[in-house]
Amino acid sequence: MKDPILVVGMKFPNPQVFKEYLREFNVVHGYDIRYIRNESARIIVVCRHGCTWRIHASPFGGTTTFQIKTLEGKHTCERHYNNKQANSKYLGKNFVDEVRDDPSINIASFKKKVRREIMVDASRFQIYRAKRKTMKIIARDLAEQYHRIRGYEATVISKNPTSHISITTNPEKTEPTFEIMYFRLDAQKDGFLTGCRPIIGLDVALVEIECKASYSWFLEELMSDIESVEEMGWTFISDRRKGLVKTFAELYPTADHIYCLRHMYSNFKTKYSGCVLKDLFWKAASTGNVHEFNYWMKKIEKADPKTGNRKTAVE
């Protein structure tokens, strides 16, 4: 399809495949065409701009197979950049990978990409419709992939039996719908338990929504996988999402749960901005003892009295 050719005697499974191939041939070579006959018994196509080029195809041997019976004349017209064969459906189908790589691509950039890659000047409205069709194709592809997730689980376990995969679906819908997945390969567990410090940074698994129920499910799966807090003395680091804080309070009240400084600083700078306070914040955060911490906290209060007490400043 990258360099299509047409030859008398070529066969196609059905007339639809023939017409798609014919469309590709004319877009690639810059020709535009017009259907004289478009029937199940025969298809006759000529050049839209009056050249002598003409092609005729019809069923072969009483089957649905279509064969090119005649191919006459040749195109003498120049390349046409306003090619009706490159409609929005064609563009949507042929630029799926580009849109998948950059879903936020704007209409102007998409239009330039089409002009550069297939030398077709499509209208903005045509590009808009093409992108909508492409997004639908991508969404359909993703949905089909989710239907294969149980097969993927079985394949992983068959090749790596000590891995841990847990998948939940919503049974209330007509067709089971994917909701949550926990995934851990055996080598990940061995490497973590053997060579890493007992610190776990939490950025919750693939879930429908980050909420208390999702946090609880994930943490229970994790602890059943790598042994309990009491046995291993795990320390957890996370942002300060309310649901996550409540989950730890209920499930693992004795666990050490600390907060990620990057998230703490994001909260801090919304109220206390500026380079001076930023530098002081990170100096306070990077100290190794209480005395130095108190020293830098006083510096913060002095630099901006609005910070108030230390608890407020850290938040």
Task: Find the range with the poorest average confidence among 57-61, 201-205, 292-296.
Answer: 201-205
Mean pLDDT of 118-145: 88
pLDDT of amino acid 134? 92
Between CA 268 and CA 310 the distance in angstroms is 12
Percentage of the chain exceeding pLDDT 70? 93
pLDDT above 70 for 303:
yes
Q: How confident is the model at residue 138 (pLDDT cuts 50, 70, 90)?
A: confident
pLDDT of amino acid 315? 41
| Contact assessment for residue 133 and residue 152, using Cβ atoms and an 8 Å cutoff | no
| Contact assessment for residue 226 and residue 186, using Cβ atoms and an 8 Å cutoff | no
Which residue, 198, 211, 200, 205, is CA-closest to 246? 211
Between CA 110 and CA 113 the distance in angstroms is 5
CA–CA–CA angle 281, 285, 288 (5° rounding):
140
Where helices occur in the chain by DSSP H, the ranges are 15-29, 88-94, 96-101, 107-118, 124-147, 149-159, 186-195, 212-226, 229-232, 242-251, 261-271, 275-285, 290-303, 310-314
Q: How confident is the model at residue 202 (pLDDT cuts 50, 70, 90)?
A: confident
pLDDT above 60 for 68:
yes
* pTM recorded for the entire structure: 0.51
Q: How confident is the model at residue 44 (pLDDT cuts 50, 70, 90)?
A: very high
